Structure 1
Amino acid sequence: MAELDKEYLSRLENRAERGSPEDQYRTGIAFAIGDGVPIDLVTAHKWLNLAAMNGVSEARESRAEISQDMSPAEIAAAQKLAREWYLTH
């Protein structure tokens, strides 16, 4: 991963952590497709779930898509991460 990619992802995740729905969506997509990071569907689902809760309609569609490639345990883990994030922010 190039240094620029790391910096971009770091800024993106920081904005997502601060509650930006669009950046939550972008972070979810990055982890779903492996854009500058290893593919991590649990983390992707977490961010897409949060973006969907914050009104990003595309996040609902993307979350449903990646859910097809996840086990029930992975989905439960992602939902738990999203709940934990939501309760602390």
Structure 2
Amino acid sequence: MGSSLKSAQFLIESRLRDAATGNSDACYDLGIVFSTGSNGVGIDLIEAHKWFNLAAVAGHHEAQYCRAEIADDMTARDIAEAQRQARALLNQSMHRAA
């Protein structure tokens, strides 16, 4: 059981590293993880929306659909928070690239 938890943590950390480089598939995968509560992570729709949003901005069409789907289960305040977090990550990425 400890081994599968370590594998799940490695997967999440790997996808976070890839997402930090702008990999839209990694952002999409993180959206899936947080929207379904898989890989030892609890369901967090704000976090899921953030990652789907980042993937969608990068042109990931499936992420656009998933973002819309989970938005139906979120409050306007939750969506605004997810968008704020996504913008903050985009701004960090732009400053690192400059």
Q: TM-score range by the shorter chain?
A: over 0.9
- Give the Cα separation in 2 of the matches to 1:42 and 1:17: 18
- In structure 1, C-alpha distance between the alignment counterparts of 2:85 and 2:60, rounded to whole Å: 19
CA distance in 2, matches of 1:60, 1:8: 23
Q: For the pair shown, which has the larger CA radius of gyration, 1 or 2?
A: 2
**Distance in 2 between the 1:44 and 1:66 partners?**
8
Q: 56, 63, 66: which one pairs with 1:59?
A: 63
Instruction: Report the counterpart of residue 46 of structure 2 in structure 1.
Output: 42
**2:48 aligns to what SS in structure 1?**
helix
Segments of 5+ residues of structure 1 without an aligned counterpart are none
Q: CA deviation at 1:87?
A: 1.1
| Coordinate RMSD, CA, aligned | 1.0
Residues in 1 aligned to 2:5 and 2:88: alpha-carbon distance in whole angstroms: 31
1:29 counterpart residue number: 32
**Is 2:73 aligned against 1:69?**
yes
User: Aligned AA for 1:20?
Assistant: N
Matched, 1:15 2:3: no
Report how many aligned residue pairs link the two structures: 89
Report the TM-score when normalising by structure 2.
Answer: 0.87
> How far apart in 1 are the matches of 2:34 and 2:19?
13
> 2:54 & 2:9 partners in 1: Cα distance?
22
The normalised TM-score by structure 1 is 0.95
What is the CA deviation profile of residues 2-60 of structure 1, one whole-angstrom value per residue up to 9, with x for unaligned ones? 11111111111111122101100111111000111111110110010010000100000
- Matched AA of 1:22: D
Percent of residue pairs identical = 38
**Partner secondary structure for residue 2 of structure 1:** helix
Runs of 4+ in 1 over 3 A off after TM superposition: none
